Amino acid sequence: MEARLNVFTNPVTAKFGKHLIAAGKVLADSTLPFATQELVKLRASQINGCGFCVDMHTKDAAHAGETATRLNLVAAWREATVFTDAERAALELAEEGTRIADAAGGVPDEVWANAAKYYDEDQLAALVCGIALINAFNRANVMIQQPAGGYQPGQFS
């Protein structure tokens, strides 16, 4: 499979990508735990069918010490016992924020309130921005059919 557009060599997508990556740096520097950030990115990417991002965030999380069991259970987090209550709240917010078009009124108040029990305002801001950012990456990669499987951890650092 070959991408419809080379995002690395096209001047528009390359410049746009640099800005998205810079936004991601803000999130990486936040107090939101790295594991939570990666779990949220992985879950949104699964929902959006973005193979490139599923590959990337699975590998980055594993490289940082995340267990295969937890990574394999992200898609079934509601039934899995391996996530903390805080992680579960973040995963729920990621799902609702990713599926925003499926629910009239957007993210339910209960979902927001549950996340707010575990994360302070800056961490909630990082969650919101991280969910928005990964959805942007997912949509671009799905539209251009960016192939998955060849990502190496830290490749874009």
Question: pLDDT digit string (tens) for 92-103?
Answer: 999 999 999 887
pLDDT score for 154: 83
pLDDT score for 155: 85
Place of tokens 């924020």: 97
User: In order of start, what are the domains of the chain with their CATH numbers?
Assistant: 31-144 (1.20.1290.10)
DSSP string covering 89-157: HHHHHHHHHHTGGGSTTSS-HHHHHHHHHHS-HHHHHHHHHHHHHHHHHHHHHHHHT---S---TTTT-
Question: pLDDT digit string (tens) for 77-120?
Answer: 999 999 999 999 999 999 999 999 887 788 999 999 999 999 99
| The model's pTM | 0.95
Question: pLDDT digit string (tens) for 14-67?
Answer: 999 999 999 999 999 999 999 999 999 999 999 999 999 999 999 999 999 999
